Every structure is written in C-alpha cells, then in structure tokens.
Structure 1
Amino acid sequence: MTESDKGFFGKFGGRYVAEVLRRPIEELEEAFHKCMKDSDFLKELEEIRTDFIGRPTPLYHAKRLSEQLGGAQIYVKLEGLANTGAHKINNAIGQALVAKRMGKTRIIAETGAGQHGVATAAACAKLGLKCRVYMGEVDVRRQQPNVSTMEMYGAEVVPVTTGSRILKDAINEAMRDWAANFSDTHYLIGSALGPSPFPDMVREFQAVIGRETKQQMAERGKKIDAMVACVGGGSNSIGFFEPFINETEPLLFGAEAGGIGPGKGNNASRMVGNDAVDGIMQGFKTRFLQDEDGQAGQTRSISAGLDYVGIGPQLAYLGETGRIKFEAIKDDEALNAVSVFAKTEGVLFAMESAHAGALALKLAPKMRKDQNIVVNMSGRGDKDIFITCPVFRPEEWKVFLQAELERLNAGKDIHFAASMAKNN
C-alpha cells in the first residue's frame, strides 16, 4: 500500500494534536498496520465487502452520452450502488473493524452531506457498536433524509450549532469528544484528512474503488486515458486514484466546488484560484480557505459533502506537483450534469459526484473517440431531493411540502404510526 512519509506528503500532512490525543493516535496507527498484515482481518473485511457492501460495484459504459458528445467514451464507476448509497461505507467498515479489534465499544463521526454518517451508523449497527454522529446544523436542515436514516440505524445525531454550523464545525466537535473519551471511543474520520494516520487509513480502505476500476477496464481490454472524481476532503478521489498515483498515466482530474463563482465566501475551492493558503488546522497541514485572522473562512456550495475549508494533504501535494489537475465546477454546472446523466443514461448522480460528471462533460468532447474517461459516481442522488426538486420542479415541490405540512399538523395517521412503532 502507498503510505505517507512519517505522516507527511511533501510539506502537507503531519500530526498536530494536543498531548491528550498523542497516545490514542499512536495506538490507532499501530493497530491499523497490524490489521493490514493480519490474514484473518483481511478475510473478514473482504467477506463484508462482498456480502454487506455489495462489491465489486459495476463499471458502466455511458454509450448514449458518449455518442452525443462526440468525443471520448465515458465510463461511470457506480459507487452509488454500494450499500448505503455511496463510497463512504468502504472506509466506515474498515475503520470500525479496526476499532473493534482494539476493544473500542463506541464510535463517533462527523458528516457533511450525511453519507459518511449513514455509512458509519450502518457499520456500527452491523458490528454492534454504539454510534454518535456530529453534523452541522446547516447540513442537518438540508440533508434530513440522511439524518432520518442515521437514526433508523440506531445512531445519535448531534446538530452542531457553533461556527458556520457545517462540516468543519462538526469535525471540531468530534475531536473534542474523542479527546474526552478515547479510552472506549474511536473517532471514525470520513475523509482523507486529519492527523496521521487517518489520511493513510482512509486512502487504503477506499483504494478498493480504484483497484476494481483498473481491473474492470483491463478485463474489457480498454486503456484508461483520464479519471475524474469530485474533491471535498478527498476520500472518494484518493481511493479512486490510488493505483495510478505513482504512474504518469492516466490523467487525473479533481472537481472542486466552485459554488456560485470566484471570490472568498462564494465557493469551496482550495486548489483553484488564490483564496486558499497553506495552514495547520484540525490536526494537519494542508491548503485551507481562511479569513484575515487565519481562522476557517466561509465556504459556499450546493453540495454539503464538498463544502469544506480544507483538502486532504495527499491531494494537496499531488495538486501542487501537477499529478492531479483541479477545476472548479459551479453549482449550475453540477445541476446540469445531474439532469444530463439522469435523462441520457438513467443514472442519478449525488450533487457531490455531479461535479465530477460536469467536468467529464467538458473533457470528453476535447478528446478522441478511441479514448476513455472514467468518472467516479461516488454517491446516488436520492438523498438530494430536497436540493434538486426545488430547482427542477419548484411549483410541484411547494404543493407537495404544503400538503405534507398540513397532514402533519392535522396529526392524522402520525400518532397511530408512532404508537405502532413504540409497541413494536
């Protein structure tokens, strides 16, 4: 497996944590490396990937769309068909298994779009672990379907009301919880960031995406010319790119959240533009969007999962060295990609993944017809109905919500259903 150099990727990464967390992090690092060499652990992980996650996920040739664009052939890695609807389950199961081997009984996590929270809750339900998920109050409001799902799996969802009330604030709260309860608790970080060894752990558990993709294209006798993934913190992209990081081919492209356009506070773009600076925050060094006082800056994106002030340290390094080329995709471009892939191929991208889809729509016409692009559809778009429906069918959505509100206010069927659930 590809590892950091003592926790660093060039100048990025590291382990900048309070003294109280040094021992639990060192214990975690030791346990992780031990598990990755343990045949029994790897066998159990592989069985869960097959029977519970549903791996391998399909690689789908978007023939109609490729023909319409008139350029490269587009293939889509359908991570949205994994159990819980996104790639996040790969890492959640891996880390939860490590934690259980360590004797931990409680898992905490942060989540933005909610998919990592859902995956962690499902993993904990399967493995018999207690689960608490911290989620920014803003994200709780816009991702209610995922909040409900987490609670169905038995997780406690804690809305975070400090700061900007989004992903970065959820991470801060989870860090505080871990510092106070590390004896029985594991902090299951969902993205390829945080203090070492988390970037290495997340990349390794997500690398199954890229390794499957490489094998699936080879079985078809196809060369991969370009790979495209969305990049927030970076869990799906670093796993997707992992088998190719140290090669010169294929070309690797990362789609950041361009929000409503350039300018501080209008987007969440760290590698494109000049708004981000090198800094240390939340236990590691990378490129962060910061304000004049060096604090976490304001971000904006239609996608909760990409709305983060920083980027995984390995991705920052690969961007600075030129191995990954980054482009900022605006909200309207991502929405257009959702519509195009849905209507042309019957594939519904999550808003995060749609940023990658939008970039593929730009790249394909500039490439030859005998070339191939693979896009990582990191998640399914079901969770985004509260975002997409007001855009694509606003009047009908208003009528639906009003009718639901009237039904809830009337209390019909609600008390009966609640009493039935309680009795069962």
Structure 2
Amino acid sequence: MDNKGFFGDWGGAYIPEVLHQTFEELKKEYAKARQDPSFWQEYLHIMRTYSCRPTPLTHAKNLSDHFGGAQIYIKREDLNHTGAHKANNVMGQGLLVQRMGKKRVIAETGAGQHGMATATMAAKFGFDCTIYMGEVDVMRQRPNVFWMEKMGATVVPVKDGSRTLKDAINEAFRDWVTNIDSTHYVFGTACGPAPFPEMVSWFQSIISQEAIEQIQEYHGKLPARIYACVGGGSNAMGAFTHFLDTDTELVGVEAGGHGIETGQHAARLCGKDATPGVAQGYKTMFLQDDDGQMLETHSVAAGLDYVGVSPILADLWEKKRVRFEAATDKEVMAALDLTMKKEGIIPALESSHAFVQAFKEAPTLSSDEAIIINMSGRGDKDIFTIAHAFDDPSWKEFIIARGKEYSSNS
C-alpha cells in the first residue's frame, strides 16, 4: 500500500471532510500497533485464549480418495469463535478501539457472521454496539440476528436499495458521520477506505500464518493451490497473505449465482460485468451500469452478494497473482451435500463456493500434491436457506408446525 492507501490503481480513501480527523486517528493507532510487537502478542493471546486459535488444518481423506487426485486439506475457520473467520478481524479492531478510548462500535453485516463477531467482541470489551443489516439478509439469516440481539447489540434492518450488504454499509457510514467522537466503525471486510483493506487483511493473515506451518508439518511441502471464496475478500486475504511470495497458486471463487450469463450473480473479477469505479470510500471493480449506479446482485450465500471487491484483490488480479473463478448456486449446494456426506463437515454457503472449484480441480493434480480449502465458516447459520434449497419435507413440516404453535399462542 502506498502512502495514499492505493494498491496499484485500486484503493484510496474517498471520504467526506467530516471523517478526515477520525481516519487520521485510526491510521495513527493502526501504524503504532503494526510497529509494536506487544500489540500482536496481545492479539495472539486473546485469539488463543478466547477464540480457540490456532484452528486445525484437517486432511479430508474421504474427499481426497473420492476425487483420486490431490490431497485435500481444509483450514477450519468454522472452529474459530462465533463460527467463522470474522472474529480474527473484530478482536484486533476491538483492541484498537480500547487504545483510542472509544465506547461504541458499529458494523455492517450480510451473512450475519461479522455482525455476530462484532456483537461478541462488544460484549467481551464492554462496548455499546449497533449492527446494520439489509432487511433481506435479516430474514434469511435470522439465527444470527437472534444471537446478536441476545448479546446486547441493536440490529437495524436497512430498508433502502436492494436491502442487502451494500445498503448496510451505506447506513453504517451515515451513523459514523453523526457519531464520530464516540464511535468506531468495525469494517468487516478488506474493502472501504484506507486503512481498512490493509488492516483487515493484517488481522486475517493469522489464517495463512498458521496454515503455512501446518501444511508443511502434515504434508512436508507447500500446497499446489489454495482456494477461498470471495465476497469483499477478508477470508481470501487471510488465506493468501503468507503464500503470496511462494509458488502456491491462489484461487478466489466468486458467487456465480444463477450463472454469469444470466446477470444474476456477484462475480466481479472473473466475469465481464464489473468496471472500475469509486464508491463507499474506495476505488475497485464494481458491478455497476454505465451511469455508475450499482447493479442488483444475487447469490445463495448472503455474504457473497457484495457489488465490490477488495482493492488488494483487484491489484493481485490485475497482476495475475490470484486467479478468479465462479461457482453457481446449484454447484454450491452439490458441493455442500458431498462434503457433509463424505467428511461430516458442514461448510457455510459462502465457504462452499471454494469447495466447488477445489473439487473441479483436485482430480487434475497428482496424489503427492496438496490443496487447501479455506473453510471460512460453518453452515449452522444457513439452516433455513439450506433446508429450503434442498426442499426438505421434514423441515417444512417442522416450520409449519412451529408457525401454527406461535399463532395459537399469540
């Protein structure tokens, strides 16, 4: 990152004047933390004692045998506290909030995992907490909303626009502008104005810091490829960072939705529908029309339907260091089903996108090679969406029965 927050042509900090002082304070505290070894040690301590790190690297032997190619390893971020990689970032930002002396945090969330992690961090550190979440995502991620509220967070359904992640981000920025003295915006992904992309990636890099040691211990050498789903890009940057200077191929998997050719997707870097633009404080590839208006997106996974992508990933894509592919909703459900049946592991719908591409490519590699799939989260949060997608009759009966029960008691 250069001194203006750019990664090549991407990034920057396009912010209103009212936020300049707040961003200067944040950049100053972040720079001090980067230069202070005791900060990282404090961060590692809380992640080990509170968030159950290091997360395991699991050899998926049954899947490896099934495909008959590379040895498949799964980096188990689902076993991180709150069930996803999101805790890595929020705990780090929580330590920065303490240093800045602020008492309130706000966040945006799509799949609910970042909101869940932020609410958890706020409870741990004693901060007031408000979470902005698109109304559509509130409905399809109701279990996470329930837990956020039970931990004391205020969840605000955003009813503007498409009522999904991009609209939640807009609303969170409005809040921040109004409450800059008391409030820190815990940005959830490696997007937004500098220093957020680099800062979030730094905290998430704990994933690849662990994985690069684990794979060499278990397999004896570095993996041929690493696969990670890509919404904004935080779990992908976490999985890729410590492998950037190696020969390992890095593969990001975006949401193909109903198929890129249909226009109902959220593929920015592997399709042809995205163009360079500036929005939400930074420059990247956005799904937008010729007038710069953001397009509607679609994904079965609530955490992948964002219109933009990390400026760091845009730079790595432009430099051809990361290859990008897309997985359709149909492929995602098939990969999820196979993983559950073969390994007894339930990936989140977001993570399942990475499994799709890994399964396509594993048979093309030899059995003495390894690949890593970054399982960014677990699928418990997706039970309503998954059961609906599988058209499970017993689940329908259960929901209908509970609905009747609630109606009779009201």
Distance 1:204 1:318 in 2: 16
SS of residue in 1 equivalent to 2:259: coil
Q: Pairwise mapping of residues 192-271 of structure 1 onto structure 2 (< 5 A)?
A: 192-220=190-218, 221-247=220-246, 249-263=247-261, 265-271=263-269
| Amino acid in the other structure paired with 2:306 | Y
| Amino acid in the other structure paired with 1:107 | V
Bigger shift: 30-39 or 221-230? 30-39
Structure 1 pair 101–361 and aligned structure 2 pair: CA distance change class (3 A): same
Distance 1:274 1:124 in 2: 40
Q: Per-residue deviation at 1:296?
A: 1.0
Distance 1:40 1:374 in 2: 31
In the alignment, is the contact (CA less than 8 A) between 2:236 and 2:252 conserved in 1?
yes
Match of 2:83 among 82, 85, 92: 85
Q: Pairwise mapping of residues 10-409 of structure 1 onto structure 2 (< 5 A)?
A: 10-220=8-218, 221-247=220-246, 249-263=247-261, 265-409=263-407
Distance 1:295 1:142 in 2: 25
1:295-317 Cα deviation digits (max 9, x unpaired): 11110000000000000000011
Distance 2:134 2:387 in 1: 22
In the alignment, is the contact (CA less than 8 A) between 1:264 and 1:298 conserved in 2?
no
In the alignment, is the contact (CA less than 8 A) between 2:75 and 2:373 conserved in 1?
yes
Runs of 4+ in 1 over 3 A off after TM superposition: 3-6
In the alignment, is the contact (CA less than 8 A) between 2:191 and 2:282 conserved in 1?
yes
Using the size of structure 1 for normalisation, the TM-score is 0.95
Superposition RMSD in Å? 1.2
Distance 1:186 1:279 in 2: 26
Identity value in percent:
52
Distance 2:271 2:359 in 1: 22
Unpaired stretches in structure 1, ≥5 consecutive residues: 413-424
In the alignment, is the contact (CA less than 8 A) between 1:264 and 1:275 conserved in 2?
no
In the alignment, is the contact (CA less than 8 A) between 1:35 and 1:42 conserved in 2?
yes
1:254-294 Cα deviation digits (max 9, x unpaired): 00000001246400000012100000000000000002321
In the alignment, is the contact (CA less than 8 A) between 2:4 and 2:13 conserved in 1?
no
Distance 1:404 1:305 in 2: 28
SS of residue in 2 equivalent to 1:109: strand
Distance 1:90 1:261 in 2: 32
Using the size of structure 2 for normalisation, the TM-score is 0.98
Structure 1 pair 85–404 and aligned structure 2 pair: CA distance change class (3 A): same
Q: Per-residue deviation at 1:45?
A: 1.4
Distance 1:68 1:200 in 2: 38
In the alignment, is the contact (CA less than 8 A) between 2:59 and 2:73 conserved in 1?
yes
Distance 2:375 2:67 in 1: 19
| Amino acid in the other structure paired with 2:233 | G
In the alignment, is the contact (CA less than 8 A) between 1:80 and 1:380 conserved in 2?
yes
Q: Per-residue deviation at 1:320?
A: 1.4
Distance 2:249 2:33 in 1: 32
In the alignment, is the contact (CA less than 8 A) between 1:130 and 1:155 conserved in 2?
yes
Distance 2:260 2:56 in 1: 36
Unpaired stretches in structure 2, ≥5 consecutive residues: none
In the alignment, is the contact (CA less than 8 A) between 1:263 and 1:275 conserved in 2?
no
SS of residue in 2 equivalent to 1:41: helix
SS of residue in 2 equivalent to 1:84: helix
Distance 2:129 2:156 in 1: 11
Structure 1 pair 22–264 and aligned structure 2 pair: CA distance change class (3 A): farther
Q: Per-residue deviation at 1:253?
A: 0.2
1:59-108 Cα deviation digits (max 9, x unpaired): 00001110110111100000000110000000010011101110110000
Residue 422 of structure 1: aligned partner: none
| Amino acid in the other structure paired with 1:243 | H
Distance 2:174 2:242 in 1: 34
Bigger shift: 42-51 or 163-172? 42-51
Q: Number of residue pairs matched?
A: 409
In the alignment, is the contact (CA less than 8 A) between 2:212 and 2:222 conserved in 1?
no
1:105-133 Cα deviation digits (max 9, x unpaired): 00000000000000000011000011100
Bigger shift: 3-12 or 336-345? 3-12
